[in-house]
Amino acid sequence: MGGDFGPRITVPAALDALRRHPSLNILLVGHQQQILPLLKHCDSALRVRIELLHAETVVAMNERPTFALRRRQDSSMYMALQSVAQGRAQACVSAGNTGALMVLGRGILQMLPGIDRPAITSTVPTAAGHCHMLDLGANVDCSAEHLLQFAIMGSVMLRAVERIESPTVALLNIGAEEIKGNEQVKLASRLLTERTGLNYIGFIEGDGVFSGEADLVVCDGFVGNIALKSSEGLARLISCKVRQSFSRNLYRRLLALLARPLIRELQQQLDPGLHNGASLLGLQGIVVKSHGGANHDCFGYAIDKAVAEAEMNIPERISKQLEHYLYPPIAPE
């Protein structure tokens, strides 16, 4: 029900996901009066793989998360997460209120033992392809210990989903030298250096994220959110200037016509929608957050991400490997 467009986008995207993933079944959680009309013309082979769970209310985009947890037990978000907690679904995908999704996720699914807070992770385009970054906004204040937990969760996920044997981990900082940064980042760097199981490569600066210096970039949620949104903002500004520049006169408009396949190719390569679907790591269940403004295709990527995580059973993997990382075996002298 969430996001800027609600079921109008999420239901058709769900139907397409069923076509892409033959073993997938989908539980649509929301108001039946809005959902049923969208399933009317759905072919019967797909229809049997869909269940509908009616929810009377929705969590509003500006609702306080704690209010949603206490008072919105009949909301689509609450009931979708509950269906994961009850084992009725293996993953939850939502385009709704991020803060509420996190607080409800934490309240309903519970944290993995040894993890204090969930973290939001997503892929970011780089020169080499893409990297993962976390946290992207779940936690506005993080201790060094939290950053360490993020690094462990991210590494386990990258190993499973991206099949990178030993993902490189970096801490986002305002300089590469050891003396740079705030206390949390400096202490986190020391903790990460001591963890023999992690492939920690040190600090990287903001621009290092996009040059692909690390497979996993760890930061607190305040910084991560602002880094990502700022760069999206500049990318949008550039694209706007390009459009203006190409439409200045007839010659340039002709040039734009000739360059259209090239421009489209670039847009595809750099489309933030391709990276839609942020995972909430650290919960005892899989939750993927779609961008609120996602269109049909982009919401589909978020579903694909949830499918991949469910196939790899990410929460169980994190849980199993956590103890090993938090208390590394003593290396022989």
Query: What are the residues binding its own copies (CB under 8 A)?
Result: 62, 64, 99, 125-127, 137, 140-141, 172, 174, 177, 179-183, 205-211, 219, 221-223, 225-238, 240-242, 245-246, 252, 255, 258-259, 262, 265-266, 269-270
Rounded Cα distance, 213 and 132, in Å: 11
Q: Which is nearer to its own copies, 154 or 221 (by Cβ)?
A: 221
Q: Which is nearer to its own copies, 82 or 225 (by Cβ)?
A: 225
Rounded Cα distance, 84 and 51, in Å: 14
Rounded Cα distance, 89 and 332, in Å: 44
Rounded Cα distance, 297 and 142, in Å: 34
- In the complex, minimum distance from the CB of residue 21 to its own copies, in angstroms, rounded to a whole number: 30
| Contact call for residues 4 and 293 (beta carbons, < 8 A) | yes
Q: Between the CA of residue 57 and those of 62, 194, 239, 320, what are the distances in Å? A: 14, 48, 39, 37
Q: Which is nearer to its own copies, 5 or 210 (by Cβ)?
A: 210
Q: Which is nearer to its own copies, 126 or 295 (by Cβ)?
A: 126
- In the complex, minimum distance from the CB of residue 32 to its own copies, in angstroms, rounded to a whole number: 30
- What strands, in cross-sheet order, belong to the sheet with 286-289? 91-94, 286-289, 278-281, 119-126, 129-134, 216-218, 168-172, 199-204
- In the complex, minimum distance from the CB of residue 248 to its own copies, in angstroms, rounded to a whole number: 8
Q: What are phi and psi of 18, to 5 degrees?
A: -65, -35
- In the complex, minimum distance from the CB of residue 128 to its own copies, in angstroms, rounded to a whole number: 10
Q: What are phi and psi of 2, to 5 degrees?
A: -85, -175
Q: Which is nearer to its own copies, 5 or 246 (by Cβ)?
A: 246
- In the complex, minimum distance from the CB of residue 77 to its own copies, in angstroms, rounded to a whole number: 18
